[in-house]
Each structure stands twice: as C-alpha cells, then as structure tokens.
Amino acid sequence: MRVLLLEQIHPDAVEVLQSAGFEVVSADRAYDEDELIAAIGDVNLLGIRSKTHVTDKVLAAAPNLIAIGAFCIGTNQIDLLSATAHGVTVFNAPFSNTRSVVELAIAELISLTRRLSEKNTLMHAGVWDKSADGAHEVRGRTLGIVGYGNIGTQLSVLAENLGMRVLFYDATDKLALGNARRAASLKELLHDSDVVTLHVDGRPENKNIFGEAEFAAMREGSIFLNLSRGFVVDYAALRRHVETGHIVGAAVDVFPVEPKGRGDEFVSELRGLPNVILTPHIGGSTEEAQQDIGQFVANKFRDFVVEGSTALSVNLPGLDLPRREGSLRLVHLHRNVPGVLARINGLLADNHVNVEAQLLGTRGEVGYVVTDSAGGVTQQIVDEIRAMPETIKLRVVF
C-alpha cells in the first residue's frame, strides 16, 4: 500500500502506517489540484487536512486510490459524491480535537470579557491603563451556543462549571446537558446572550447563515466567536458592528479564504481591530489533538485495508465484521439496487464456496457487503463479481 500524507500530519500516523507494512510519503504543505493529479496516480491511501482539495478531476486521476483520510473534522474539501462514485472510502476524525477547540473558545471568551487583548496591545505600546471599565467576570453571564454537537455540548458543560448560564440553538432536536436550556429560536438566543459562539458544520446550506440581521439582533455590548467554518459568517457586517461598539469584542479562527502556507499574507476585513482576536485556524492545533487525530485516522486506514472495516466512514455504510483466522474476505461496494447480494451468494453457491460470515449495509445510493469464506474463491469468481453492472469496487483481502 502506497500512502501520501500532506499538510504536516502527525508522525504517529506515519508510525502506525509503516508498522502495518505500508509505504509512506509525507509532505509538510498542501497540494493544489495539478500537483495532486501529478502525484496521485499510484497512491492507494491519501491523507490530508483542510487545505488540500480533492476534486472530481483528482479522483479521476487516481485509479488505485481506495481511501482518503481527512486528518481533521471537516470533509467539505473532499468531493464526497465523486469519491463514492469512484469507490473511495472517506474517513475523518470527528472527535479527536473537540477538547482543543472547546478550550480555545473558553480562553477567548474569558479574554474578551476581561478585555485582555486590548490591555495587551496597550501595554506593548507602552500605555499603562489600569482600569476595570468594560471588564467583567464570565460568572453569571449567558453563553449562547449555535450548534449543539460534539463541540457545542462539551463547551456547554465547561461553561456551566465556570458559572455561566447556557442557551443553545440547533436545527435538530438535541438533549440539553446539565442546566443548559434550548432556545426556541435563533432570535431568542441572540437577544438573551452576552456571548454568542458558532459551532455549526460545513454543509453548504450553512453558508452566510450569520450576517447583518443576526449581528443586529445580538445584545448591545455582546461578544461574538466563530471557531466553526469561515463561510458561515459575513465578516464585513461583523466589522461594522464592532466599529460601532454594538459588539464589544470578537474572536475568529476560520475564514472564507485562508492562506495555503505558513508565512503567506493573511487578508481579512477584521485586521487592525484591537478588540478582535484573530487566530490562524488553530482550533484543533494542539499537540495532543494532532497526535490523537494522527493515530485515529491512520488506524482507520489500517483497519480498512486489512479488515475492510468502514466503521465511522463519512460516505459508506459503517461495517465492522470480526475477521475469522485463515479466511478469505471479499469486500464489495456496489450500487444499492435489489438482488445484488442474492447474485453474489448464488455465484458462490454455484461454485461450492461456503460463506462463513457475511455483513451487508446500505447508505443512500450504495451498498457495502463483506463476505468471508474458508476457500474456493477463484480468480474467475472474482472477475465475475467485478464485472457485475452494479459493482463499483471489489477488493480481495487475504
């Protein structure tokens, strides 16, 4: 197995993959589309973070690719529909950096509530301003969380431990943790919160969900945080509300357009505002999170290659069938139409192949079946299954 890892993926990932016998090539930066097309022809496993985009053109140039690992939470940089059509399984790390993002949010909301960023700027300019004006404790204040998923819920718990009241709003029904209360509407949350923080996912319908109307609806003197996705916020509107004093502070970690490499110029409407904390998409960039992510996704790669396991896959049915020692395993990805499993089993039965274990799962337009046998599977059988019109990809795992 040939593996290409981009964007400074943690060395633990390399260790896991090399210990499994895979050949690993690493690069510290993102590849653009042309570079990736030139490099991916003989690659079986591709590991990226957020800046390398895997397009349909890239996937069309990757006949040997079987899996992509997003060593991060988001997968909007990958054309998932095209990946599925090409029989490429996609994995990510949905939980590994949750704590790191939450801790950054806590640090920023305390810093902004105490106006630490402004005091720091003044001190570096030689100005001593020992004043309590506008500085508050977070205890007793209300935190409004938009998006109550893995990050939002953990932030909710920690904020309560700091003595904050917590409101949350989510497009789907979510169970409130602790004393958190679900807001009946986004408008209610904005009206009642001293701090508003976004933790929504990268689905296209979330584009520009937070703009002029939402900032205007926020409480006078409130604070705004976005550590989710850059394209969900109108930052020009945020600047206007910061400049008028309606919003007294903001912290932003994600941007609609981000530089590709370290040292490249960062351009944003928010530069130059003393009460705005800008960080270079580092919500999950702690050594602990990157180590956990590296190990998690690398282990997913190994289990997929060795076992055919798709547990927690982003785009395929999640199957994990325990392997029987000495068995031969057929891993079959196919279009989800009636009769495929019956035809596979009929073909095996006609050739006197006994099925020892089998598991089928479907997800949308695709089905995934794992079949174990003690022997008798010939190249002719493999070729016949591969030639079925419904077959997207077939692998034989010994």
pLDDT mean over 188-193: 98
**Strand, helix or coil at 155?**
helix
CATH numbers and ranges of domains, the chain: 1-96+286-315 (3.40.50.720), 98-278 (3.40.50.720), 317-398 (3.30.70.260)
φ and ψ of 262, to 5 deg = -60, 130
Active site residue 136: no
Averaged pLDDT score across all residues of the chain: 96
Tokens of 200: 């929504």
**58-114 per-position pLDDT tens digit:** 999 999 999 999 999 889 999 999 999 999 999 999 999 999 999 999 999 999 999
**88, containing H or E segment:** none
Question: Closest by alpha carbon to 254, among 198, 203, 308?
Answer: 198
Judging by beta carbons within 10 Å of its beta carbon (0-12, 13-18, 19+), is residue 387 exposed, middle or buried? Answer: exposed
Could you tell me what percent of the chain has a pLDDT over 70?
A: 100
Catalytic residue (one of 281, 302, 329, 332)? 281
The pLDDT, as a whole number, for residue 204 is: 87
Residue 364 in tokens = 């949308």
Which residue in the block uniquely carries the two structure tokens 């400049």?
Answer: 243
150 sits in which H/E element: helix 150-161
Average pLDDT on 21-35 reads 96
pLDDT at residue 323 in the model: 87
CB atoms within 10 A of CB 10: 20
Question: What is the predicted pLDDT for the residue at 123?
Answer: 95
User: Cα(236)–Cα(256) distance, rounded to whole angstroms?
Assistant: 12
pLDDT at residue 398, as a whole number: 86
Hey, what amino acid is at 362? T
Q: Which of 103, 160, 188, 258 is catalytic?
A: 258
DSSP class per residue in 189-228: HHHH-SEEEE-----GGGTT-BSHHHHHHSPTTEEEEE-S
What is the C-alpha end-to-end distance of the chain, expressed in Å? 14
CB neighbour class for 67 (10 Å; exposed up to 12, middle 13-18, buried from 19): buried
pLDDT, residue 43, reads 98
Instruction: Please indicate whether residue 229 is annotated as part of the active site.
Output: yes
pLDDT tens-digit series, residues 207-263: 999 999 999 999 999 999 999 999 999 999 999 999 999 999 999 999 999 987 788
- Angle (CA) 315 367 306, round 5°: 70
CA distance 333 to 370: 9
pLDDT of residue 141: 98
Q: Quote the CA–CA distance of 363 and 317 in Å, as a whole number.
A: 5
Distance between CA atoms of 330 and 385, rounded to whole angstroms?
A: 10
Q: SS3 of 349, please?
A: helix
The span from the CA of 291 to the CA of 19, in Å, is 16
Local confidence band at 326 (pLDDT 50, 70, 90 cut-offs): confident
pLDDT tier at 325, thresholds 50, 70, 90: confident
Has 288 been annotated as catalytic?
A: no
For position 263, what pLDDT does the model report? 85
* Identity of the amino acid at 106: I
Closest CA to 49 of 213, 263, 260, 225: 260
Task: Return the percent helix, strand and coil in the chain, to nearest 5.
Answer: 35, 20, 45
pLDDT of 226: 98
Question: 187 falls in which pLDDT band (50, 70, 90)?
Answer: very high
Candidate list 229, 329, 332, 334, residue with the active-site label: 229
Note the pTM of the prediction, 2 decimals.
0.86
Please classify residue 364 by burial: count the beta carbons closer than 10 Å to its beta carbon, then call 0-12 exposed, 13-18 middle and 19+ buried.
exposed
Query: 357: pLDDT confidence band, cut at 50, 70 and 90?
Result: very high
Give the residue among 317, 325, 303 at the shortest CA–CA distance from 374.
325
Task: Copy the structure tokens of residue 293.
Answer: 């992510």
Q: What is the pLDDT of residue 74?
A: 87
Q: CA of 267: how far to CAs of 77, 236, 251, 270, in Å? A: 21, 12, 16, 9
Higher confidence at residue 15 or residue 202?
Answer: 15
